[in-house]
Chains A and B, each alone.
Chain A
């Protein structure tokens, strides 16, 4: 290099570095703070997508600091929301249907997973139960007002066993394995991990497991309230967007997704893999869900789950007004397949 050629003084480089670093840091500082949102979710495969998405940090990417609260079931998570402990909840549609009779401000935003072969009827073989027809006259327990309750109803219908030919008892989910072990009940309608707990307690040889794939599709839904919608505009959309990103990640990276879900749920990968094989992690809003909500509402009334305090309490809610499809339409337009929902 020609020495006579003017060169940029080296001493200026640190100064420039400092200036650019400051600008970069100030740009970072300008990033809006994460919006903290509390959510209750069952610590089970039902809410796999939530746990996976949270672990991947996709919520934070959307500016959401999700405060996840683990619950034994979706019904409990919804109950927590109804008590105001969390802002949002992940639950099956059945608890939402039941709760909708009492609360017209509940909102369902989207399903984040479906499973049509998750629920089982686990019966004591040593109680003379070898096939579904043998359940006649037996005591079958389940969690009242939940998906397993509705599954039991459909199962009995399918095998021409109406509620009068069996005895139904209701108890908490976590109490079912012990009840079956003790012999207080002959069978129960439930899901994992309680099925495994019972098998472990009783022994698989003494048990028989019934399933009817496709008989009932259980959905896991993100629910909230109208107040939340009003007070947190855009949050649901961001959450759904993040969830969809998580679902796409699971599609493309099933092994990695399995590892994450197993770690989050503290379940063996084999178990999770088995459960996920019948699950579909996808953020949707389908017409079938709307019909299911109506069906279950009708079922809830028919079976007396809904005990009206006044005449209007038994009226089937208009679930079109309880479903807020706008956030999903904004986040994932093609995922909305509802008829009667106002077009965007």
Chain B
């Protein structure tokens, strides 16, 4: 860099310019002052002698200037060798170059001195023998000396360059050898140390890879052999743990899916049967109601009464079937009571004994201090009978039937394995037989409505479906354990009753003479026949009955007839206003109005906030006219 700031190049002549420009371009240390004409260059030399740094001898000769600066460099222009790659910038670090520079400067000044001597001699003419030729010869010799020094300088530069190049090549060679040696060392290292490890690792990795492939294909049962305590063993152990967990999760998932599928299937069947049963219930209500009217109208006609009684019996059986269907579909309104099932079972002991053959031994094991449970006792009785009959049929009339109750707690672990169960305290009833048992496939379908393995005409296929519906309705749980030729156990879990869940009031249906009244009632139902039947039944008891077929119409009637004391309405009705909404609006407008709702099921009509209170007075379809009349009277007699 120092050179760059001090050296200045003055050039003249195209060839020289090209050569030096190449040098300078490479060096990037010099600045060029180019003069295309020799005369201009000479003039600049004479005026800027101090700045002279690089110049041709001929130019110096023409300018007749001594070299004043110590920092200079002369490059001869007729050198045939390439010098552009000479490391001139290194000159200060090489004494030989400095020495050569000094020689050149020395010889040049000698040359200038001789030139001046000749010029002086010519002027003074002191020596006639010292001819112009002698001057020219001397100058020629001295010029050649300068050229020799210049070329020696260039050779030294080349030598230095060569040395640097050799060093560079040596470094390159060493670097190359290192580069060559490094992979070789790596190969040796790999061969000696890594390969055995790699081979071992490879084997392990291959096994792990194969296991992973099987894993990716869904084969979670494959396990790796764990040998030793190295990284591969840790990997294998980790893989095995992962595969085991995945396998367990997969089993659980499949089971959940299976249960979910079963649940969805049961739900779909429930909705289907529930819908059919609801409509069928309405028809049965019409039939039953008309039969009751016909029975009164045909009083004294025994023959007609006999026929009417047959029809009523058949209708009742039909109503029982729809009741079972509704019970399965969970759409039947409940009559929940808090009870001790030990007591119910004890009350049913005779019935149970008569339900099975004498060859079936019935054993009852009751837990002491059994918790209470909030259930529909009628449904529970039906459930128990259904389970007993199912056991009887499984034992082919001979065996042992065991009923056992106990308190139990279903924990989360059990519930995780048994979707549909919720953790908590339960009252358990186990009904066991040592009958033929069931296969797994059969177990999966036993709760489906109309699924039966019994001979045609011996079973409806609704018994266990009704059990299933009861359990779900009371938020319980049922579990079946069965082994072919060993026996079957049904365990039903009924939630322990909480104090706040206890009903405040139980409707007691009065039997005997039907109560009468004179109040004005509003009956609402979209089913015209059913509406008419209710109207007739109530009118027969002295009531004034106004009817409406939808909610809006009912509200209008309420406005028109302020004397209406009780609203009897179906819950599910078309027209945008269901029974709950109607009751809410009506009681808001007429707070003293009594409300009795009726429905075949309650799920479709969601009781919003505050509407659930109307469920306290709910008449489930199909209802008897006596039930209707008694319920109406009881409500009207209640204080406001």
Contacts and interface: CB of A to CB of B under 8 A. Distances in A.
B141 A154 contact: yes
Given A154-B141, A157-B137, A214-B110, A162 B148 contact: no
A116 B107 contact: yes
Contacts of B130: 160, 162
A341 to B, nearest CB: 8
A217 interface: yes
B154 interface: yes
A213 B106 CA distance: 8
Contacts of A286: 148, 151-152, 155
Interface string A277-288: 000101010111
B152 A160 contact: no
A288 B148 contact: yes
Nearest to B107: A214
A292 B147 CA distance: 10
Interface stretch (A37-45, A68-76, A171-179, A329-337): A329-337
Contacts of B81: 334, 336-337
B3 interface: no
A96 interface: no
Given A158-B114, A287-B151, A334 B159 contact: yes
A212 interface: yes
Contacts of B156: 282
Contacts of A235: none
Interface string B122-134: 0000010110001
Contacts of B80: 287, 337-340
B601 to A, nearest CB: 90
B103 interface: yes
Bin the interface of chain B by size.
Answer: 35 or more
Contact of A284 (B107, B134, B155, B162): B155
B22 interface: no
Contacts of A282: 152, 155-156, 159
Interface in B49-82: 78-81
A338 B147 CA distance: 12
Interface string B286-321: 000000000000000000000000000000000000
Contacts of A214: 103, 106-107, 110, 142, 145, 149
Given A162-B134, A334-B159, A337-B154, A116 B144 contact: no
Contacts of A288: 144-145, 147-152
B152 A215 contact: no
A334 B107 contact: no
B152 A284 contact: yes
A292 B134 CA distance: 17
B370 interface: no
B138 A335 contact: no
A116 B137 CA distance: 18
A116 B103 contact: yes
Contacts of B149: 116, 214, 217, 288
Interface string B76-98: 00111100000000000000100
Task: Tell me what chain A mostly uses at the interface: helix, strand, loop, or mixed.
Answer: mixed
Nearest to B137: A157
Contacts of B170: none
Contacts of B121: 160
Contacts of A162: 129-130, 134
A114 B138 contact: no
A284 B149 CA distance: 12
A295 interface: yes
A165 interface: yes
Contacts of B148: 114, 116, 217, 286, 288-289, 291-292
A262 to B, nearest CB: 21
Contacts of A280: 96, 99-100, 152
A251 interface: yes
A340 B79 CA distance: 11
Interface string A315-344: 000000000000000000011111110000
B151 A337 contact: yes
A30 interface: no
B152 to A, nearest CB: 6
A157 B145 contact: no
B145 A116 contact: yes
Contact of B155 (A157, A295, A335, A340): A335
Interface in B388-444: none
B137 A291 contact: no
A114, A282, A287, A289 — which one has the most chain B CB atoms within 10 A of its CB?
A: A287
A164 to B, nearest CB: 6
Interface in A266-306: 280, 282, 284, 286-289, 291-292, 295
Nearest to B162: A334
Contacts of B103: 116, 213-214
A330 B145 CA distance: 27
A216 interface: yes
B34 interface: no
Contacts of B147: 287-288, 291
B544 interface: no
A217 B155 contact: no
Contacts of A287: 78-80, 147, 151
B154 A160 contact: no
A40 B506 CA distance: 146
B605 interface: no
Most buried by A among B79, B147, B152, B156: B152
Interface in A119-175: 154, 157-158, 160, 162, 164-165
Contacts of B516: none
B144 A291 contact: yes
B117 interface: yes
A338 B151 CA distance: 10
A165 B127 CA distance: 10
A162 B129 CA distance: 7
B158 interface: yes
Contacts of A157: 114, 134, 137-138, 141
A334 B163 CA distance: 11
A114 B141 contact: no
B161 interface: yes
* Max count, chain A CB within 10 A of own CB: residue among B100, B137, B148, B151: B148
A214 B162 CA distance: 27
Contacts of A284: 151-152, 155
B140 interface: yes
Contacts of A251: 96
Contacts of B138: 154, 157-158
A216 B145 contact: yes
Contacts of B155: 282, 284, 286, 334-335, 337
Contacts of A165: 129
Contacts of A295: 140-141, 144
A160 B120 CA distance: 11
Interface of A: 114, 116, 154, 157-158, 160, 162, 164-165, 212-217, 248, 251, 280, 282, 284, 286-289, 291-292, 295, 334-340
28 contacts: A116-B148, A116-B149, A154-B138, A157-B114, A157-B134, A157-B137, A158-B110, A158-B117, A162-B134, A213-B110, A214-B107, A214-B149, A215-B107, A248-B163, A284-B152, A286-B148, A287-B79, A288-B151, A289-B148, A291-B147, A295-B140, A334-B158, A334-B162, A335-B159, A337-B79, A337-B81, A339-B78, A339-B79
8 tightest Cβ-Cβ pairs between the two chains A and B: A288-B148, A214-B107, A334-B158, A286-B151, A157-B138, A339-B80, A288-B147, A214-B106
Interface of B: 78-81, 96, 99-100, 103, 106-107, 110, 114, 117, 121, 127, 129-130, 134, 137-138, 140-142, 144-145, 147-152, 154-156, 158-159, 161-163
Given A116-B107, A214-B110, A289-B148, 19 more contacts: A114-B148, A157-B114, A157-B134, A160-B130, A162-B129, A213-B106, A214-B149, A217-B145, A248-B159, A280-B96, A282-B156, A286-B155, A288-B148, A291-B147, A334-B81, A334-B162, A335-B158, A337-B81, A337-B151
